[in-house]
Amino acid sequence: MKGEVGFVFGIAGCQLGKNVRGICGGRRLIQGVNVGRVAVRMVDGDGGESEEGEEPRKVVSTVRIPLFGKIMGGEAAVDEGTEEDLMPGVPLRMECGFGFYAHPKKQTGEDAFFIEGCSVGVFDGVTGVQAIVGKVDPRLFPQDLARITADKVRVLGPQSVVKALIEAADEVKTPGASTAVVVGMDDKARVFGIHLGDSGVILVRDGKIAFRTTEQMKSFGAPYQLGSKSPYNVLMGQNIQFKAKENDWIIIASDGLFDNVFDQTIVDVVQAKKQEGAFAVAETLGVMAWENCQDTKIATPYAAAARKAGKSHSGGKLDDVTVVACRVARIPDWTPVSIFSDF
């Protein structure tokens, strides 16, 4: 595939049992965006990691797969259940579909994300930081921040996802900057998190938006961000806290989605695709945002915000697009999985 331009998506499904197996498949679409990959770590029923697989299409345990997939994750915990539960005694977990599309005019993406059980993080590298810290690769800071945060969540648990981000932000030594949003759902279906910048979270419940984060901007086009020379820190972010319910949908994404797709359209996609699963929701939203970002005439949230700020802009905003769509559900025979973007 060297020298070719396109993107690949695949479905990573885990076959649950004594030995967890990851199977990846996909197809190439020539649409002007390069290939990204993720690293997947599957854990067997006894909690131990299996050995790294060598075959890229059918593997046992760790596999690098095309950046569009579906995986089930969550915390193996016991919930007391309620009379309304469809499967009393089976804990609520998150089934997550994910997708990434690189900036149409760049070779690689500057977003990063992780899925660690019932925790998700999305990070958007800031190219403009080069004017402050000098010439740096804007991909590296968000990648390191995502990786360290995920490692800490694995130890601390989803209820401590904010603490994990705080500690990770203090430990990252790579020059650069990134927005950040993290969420984690505990064994009582309580969702905790924090959001700094212009990535964000939407909670869709019963066909309506029940919660949405608010953009944090110093000025138009200048989001709050974490970084080596940033005046902002994690605790300056917007707190995220709510009780999840069965069949809720939690959309965690970079501004590549929210700048190019209106909130109501996101809700409409969830409603139209929810029966097909989390992967279908993430795929549809990701493709829509990526296509809209290249349309110079379509109405978009970014164009509306630009007009409000006294700027002249029409159409979408060229950018990376990262979408993680999570359905809150009771999933029997669940096995925890770790996913980390590695571009």
> For 142-158, how does the pLDDT look when each residue is reduced to its tens digit (9 = 90+)?
999 999 999 999 999 99
First to last CA, the chain: 16
Q: Is the pLDDT of residue 115 over 50?
A: yes
8 lies in a domain?
Answer: no
19 lies in a domain?
Answer: no
Number of Cα atoms under 13 Å in the Cβ half of residue 194: 20
pLDDT confidence of 131, banded at 50, 70, 90?
low
List the single range of 127-136, 293-302, 331-340 with lowest mean pLDDT. Answer: 127-136
152 lies in a domain?
Answer: yes
20 lies in a domain?
Answer: no
59 lies in a domain?
Answer: no
Q: Is the pLDDT of residue 82 over 60?
A: no
More confident residue, 136 or 78: 136
More confident residue, 137 or 117: 117
Task: Phi first, then psi: give them for residue 304, nearest 5 degrees.
Answer: -65, -40
Q: Which pLDDT belongs to residue 336?
A: 78
Sign of CA dihedral 218, 219, 224, 225: negative
> For 94-110, how does the pLDDT look when each residue is reduced to its tens digit (9 = 90+)?
999 999 899 888 877 88
Detail the DSSP E strand segments found in 128-248: 177-185, 190-196, 200-205, 208-212, 217-219, 222-223, 226-227, 238-243
13 lies in a domain?
Answer: no
**Is the distance from CB of 276 to CB of 269 less than 8 angstroms?**
no
Q: Which pLDDT belongs to residue 209?
A: 98
Count CB-CB contacts under 10 A for residue 271. Answer: 15
Q: Which pLDDT belongs to residue 127?
A: 72
Segment 198-208 shows an average pLDDT of 97
Q: Which pLDDT belongs to residue 109?
A: 84
State the total domains in the chain: 1
Q: Is the pLDDT of residue 92 over 90?
A: yes
Q: Is the pLDDT of residue 161 over 70?
A: yes
Q: Is the pLDDT of residue 341 over 90?
A: no
CATH of the domain at 164: 3.60.40.10
What span, in angstroms and rounded, lies between the C-alpha atoms of 329 and 247? Answer: 6
> For 17-53, how does the pLDDT look when each residue is reduced to its tens digit (9 = 90+)?
222 222 222 222 223 233 333 444 433 333 344 333 3
DSSP annotation of 187: T
Range of the domain at 124: 71-341
333 lies in a domain?
Answer: yes
* Distance, C-alpha 117 to centroid of its chain: 13
* Mean of all residue pLDDT scores within the chain: 77
Count CB-CB contacts under 10 A for residue 112. Answer: 33
247 lies in a domain?
Answer: yes
> For 257-270, how does the pLDDT look when each residue is reduced to its tens digit (9 = 90+)?
999 999 999 999 99
